[in-house]
Amino acid sequence: VQKYIKYHTNCGIKSVLFKKENKSGGSKLIKKYFLLLQSDNRKKADGELFRHFQNLETNKTIYTMKALIDRILKDGKCYEGGILKVDKFINHQMDPNLMKQVAVELIRRYASTDINKILTVEASGIAPAIMMGFLLDLPVVFAKKKKPSTMSGMLSTTIFSFTKQREYTVCISKDYLTPNDKVLFVDDFLAYGNAAKGIIDLCQQAGAELVGMGFIIEKAFQHGRDAIEDAGIRCESLAIIDSLNDCRIKIRM
């Protein structure tokens, strides 16, 4: 078994690949994982970009992204029914620089896991997912909200959207989600966890391993995390909203 190390200098990530040579002279990838380079610069950048605090009950350190929290407080808008609009930097106009920082932080959190694919749902999950796929050199698959007439062999599930107050079907081709896949799911929001439950179902149908789920913003008061953790899946989010009552954004920090 040969060990290869690849540096992704644009985001301070090191990937370690283990390849086994076969008799025909080729090689097969048998294991891959990512590490974050802890240079002085990186530590300095961490201090500026991220806040971390200790939960005194669990003794766990929780990281939140300062740049993201500041942006939500500056440009986020509250709507009736517990909806946060972030159209200025995530859902309509997008900030690629912030999106890169989001991708780097999610990669950092899942650095020690073994993944071979990034999974998301169209449309708003595609931006963070493609950033992560680009930085890690991994393919990105998005679940489609409309079944293409040309695609057979689809896995599908129904999801209830509370922002649109209706059910919709999402599907993924069996060619792109298989029993060989170890996937990391990423999306813009975690609310009631309906989209997450749909993704868990699709991964189960495909026989793929869902290594973890990562969200840019979690609205903790809608408790979507429970369904994910009850299914034994790791859940990470970069900004946690505790309440949107009285049109005021209360962020955990």
What is the DSSP-derived secondary structure letter of residue 247? Answer: G
Q: Both tokens of residue 91?
A: 């859902």
Q: Does 187 bind ligand 5GP (CB under 6 A)?
A: yes
Of residues 101 through 130, those in contact with ligand 5GP by CB under 6 A are 124
Q: Does 195 bind ligand 5GP (CB under 6 A)?
A: yes
Of residues 143 through 172, those in contact with ligand 5GP by CB under 6 A are 161-163
| Residue 158 Cβ vs ligand 5GP, minimum distance, rounded to whole Å | 12
Task: Out of 27, 91, 157, 173, point to the residue binding ligand 5GP (CB under 6 A).
Answer: 91
Q: Where are the beta strands (DSSP E) in the chain?
A: 2-8, 13-21, 27-36, 50-55, 60-65, 77-79, 83-85, 117-121, 140-143, 154-161, 166-173, 182-190, 209-219, 234-243, 250-251
Q: Does 221 bind ligand 5GP (CB under 6 A)?
A: no
Of residues 56 through 85, those in contact with ligand 5GP by CB under 6 A are 83-85
Q: Does 189 bind ligand 5GP (CB under 6 A)?
A: yes
Please state the separation of Cα 112 from the chain's center in Å. 15
Interface ranges with ligand 5GP (CB under 6 A): 83-86, 91, 124, 161-163, 187-196, 224
